[in-house]
Amino acid sequence: MSQTGVQARRSAVYLLDQVLGESRMLTEVIASGALDKLEPAERATAQRLALDTLRSLERADRLLQKHLKKHPPLSVRNALRIATVELCNGGAAHGIVNSAVEIVGRNKRTATMKGLVNAVLRKVAAGGQEAWDMLRVPRMPKWIREPLVLAYGTEAVIEIEKAHYAGAPLDLTAKGDIGALHRSLGGELLETGSVRLADNGQVSMMPGFKRGSWWVQDAAAAMPVQMLAPQEGEAILELCAAPGGKTMQIAAAGAKVRAVDDNPARMERVRENLKRTKLEADLQVGDALKETGTWDAILLDAPCSATGTMRRHPDLPYAKDGSEFGELFELQAQMLDHAIDMLAPGGRLVYCTCSLLPDEGECQVEDALAKHENMKTDVEALKLPGIDPAWITEEGGLRLRPDYWADKGGMDGFYIAVLRKA
């Protein structure tokens, strides 16, 4: 096995150590420089191995427990997990096993376990792939699975878990003509106006990226702005704007957008994306609750649990535990009330969250409608091409789930409501 392969796998072990041992999100770990010393190909391999292992964690542990009398240290266990996932998905046993043994052997605290790692992985290589295919689709941890079963039922949650396990294709939003983007890159042109690619390669090297012709944005995440329907020259307030996909959509429509977010680092990313796409927006780093003024159109992409993004972020169920739910629910209610107060008579407000929890979507809008008698939901604004009427909820919002469009590759979990002030 090449040194490059060992380094990528060693880095993947570190990523898992941080997620499973320190409850850190992969994006946070990578942003802190964890992969900076690797070559681009190594970085991509390390991330892929970590993501694949997190998606398959339950299966890997079920196979490994047959060969382990007790749990080894976390880093050893993670090396075993990564190797097991690779072996059971058709990887070459010799290189995979040798890499895992070398990784464990490099650490003085775990070097004595080289023999154990070698023996266990030889057993997995011998019969693991057949056993792997017979295991159930990995389930979400209980802290998130139980409320979702309560909301949607067991059968629906199993379908959501299948979507999580399958991972996510790459969806693109065009700055201009979506048809031209489709002709340039191929893939599938979705009814909602996104181009979906199954095998994308390195994003920054794809045609049109450097010119700023498009940006990566899940099809579900692109829908709130489509339902807001920004008009050329219109002034729009966007609250909680980072990472900026919706900001670019609004700006590309010709509207004047004031984008507010309290995270300076994430807003710098928005600035970079606007520069690449040659779009303009008024970026403000600050607290959305301190914004003032009167606006005819507001987009509130409220801070949330991000549970709708688990098919792209399989680290989330392991880096979080739901303990922040109460604070998030309260903050969402405050932001929604504040946005409604800033909305001009006759104005429209889009409230959305990338969450699967009704408490962050349906319940928030129900409560807002009860408190603000001059507000009502605009169901007609939701009825765009590609939207199944069955997805429209009782209070007049739109519930999107990862198992929707299963034949197309699914979508992120999202909740969207368009509210109008009398």
**Residue 317 domain flag:** yes
Whether residue 263 is found in the same domain as residue 329: yes
Residues tagged active-site: 354
- What's the rounded Cα separation, in Å, for the pair 96 and 5? 9
C-beta neighbour count of 114 within 10 angstroms:
17
DSSP assignment of 18-57: IIIIH---HHHHHHTTTTTTS-HHHHHHHHHHHHHHHHTH
Token pair 């006759």: residue: 346
- CB contact at 8 A, 6 and 49: no
Assign residue 393 the CATH number of its domain.
3.40.50.150
Residue 243, preceding bond cis, omega within 30 degrees?
A: yes
Both 78 and 194 in one domain: the answer is: no
Amino acid code (one letter) for 15: L
Q: Which domain holds residue 319?
A: 218-421
- Rg value, the chain, Cα: 23
Domain assignment of residue 231, yes or no: yes
Asked if 192 and 64 sit in the same domain, the reply is no
User: Does one domain contain both 35 and 177?
Assistant: no
Q: Are residues 283 and 305 both part of a single domain?
A: yes
Domain boundary among 162, 195, 216: 216
Cα gap 174→193, rounded to integer Å: 9
Token match 């922040």: residue?
324
Q: Which residues pair with 195 in a beta bridge?
A: 172, 189
Collapsed DSSP state (helix, strand, coil) of residue 317? helix
Q: Say what the pLDDT of residue 2 is.
A: 44
Cβ–Cβ < 8 Å for 210, 276: yes
| pLDDT tens profile 176-203 | 999 999 999 999 999 999 999 987 678 8
- Report DSSP state, residue 17: I
Give yes or no: residues 234 and 347 share one domain.
Answer: yes
Q: In the chain, which stretches have pLDDT less than 70? A: 1-4, 200
Q: Are 339 and 352 in contact (CB under 8 A)?
A: no
**Full-prediction pTM beyond 0.75?**
yes
Give me the pLDDT at residue 200, please: 64
- DSSP-assigned beta bridge partners for residue 174: 214
Do 383 and 304 form a contact (C-beta atoms < 8 A)?
A: no
Residues 192 and 296 in one domain: no
Nearest to 375 by CA among 412, 400, 341: 341
Rounded distance, CA 53 to CA 11, Å? 13
Asked if residue 250 and residue 347 are part of one domain, the reply reads yes
Render pLDDT for 79-134 as a digit per residue (tens, 0 to 9).
999 999 999 999 999 999 999 999 999 999 999 999 999 999 999 999 888 899 99
